[in-house]
Amino acid sequence: MLPKDFYACSQEEELFDVAKKLFQKFPTQRIFALHGAMGVGKTTFIKYICRYLQSEDTVNSPTFSMVNEYALPFNKTLYHFDFYRIKSIDEALDMGFEDYLYSNQYCFIEWAEKVEALLPPETIHVTMFIKDEDKERVIVF
């Protein structure tokens, strides 16, 4: 059964509209934790989030670097984290993760459950999954 508030996408381009709804619902929030299985489209969603925020940078997965930085208008930045490969929370601390969180810039965190203890209470949790019956991508925030 689906939650009460969800967004379903059958086409990738619809993620732009979901990104718009995310920022309409949380206009002042800066920290977003993305949850979902491998291949559900977390990085693809971040690509559309960057497009919505008018970044001209190429978005790709920071799986090996752990963080990518995308320039936004008005000297703003979006930090895109991928903690899939970290083995301990200390790795996130060693790379200065907390400094990013409190930079007042956008932080989008894939595999956020691996750093859950470091996330501030105001973090917005975004869960993504694929509905088996029609392969539709479902996003809940």
Q: What pLDDT score was predicted for residue 4?
A: 66
Q: For residue 134, what pLDDT is reported?
A: 67
For residue 106, give the 3-state DSSP assignment. strand
pTM: 0.92
The pLDDT, as a whole number, for residue 2 is 56
Spatial strand order of the sheet with 76-82 comes to 7-9, 137-140, 124-130, 31-35, 106-110, 76-82, 67-72
Q: Name, in order, each residue with C-beta under 8 angstroms of 83's C-beta and a sequence gap of 6 or more.
A: 66, 92, 109, 110, 111, 112, 114, 115
CATH class given for the domain over 13-120: alpha beta
Given a cut of 70, the residues of the chain with pLDDT beneath it are 1-4, 133-134
Q: Where are the domains of the chain?
A: 13-120
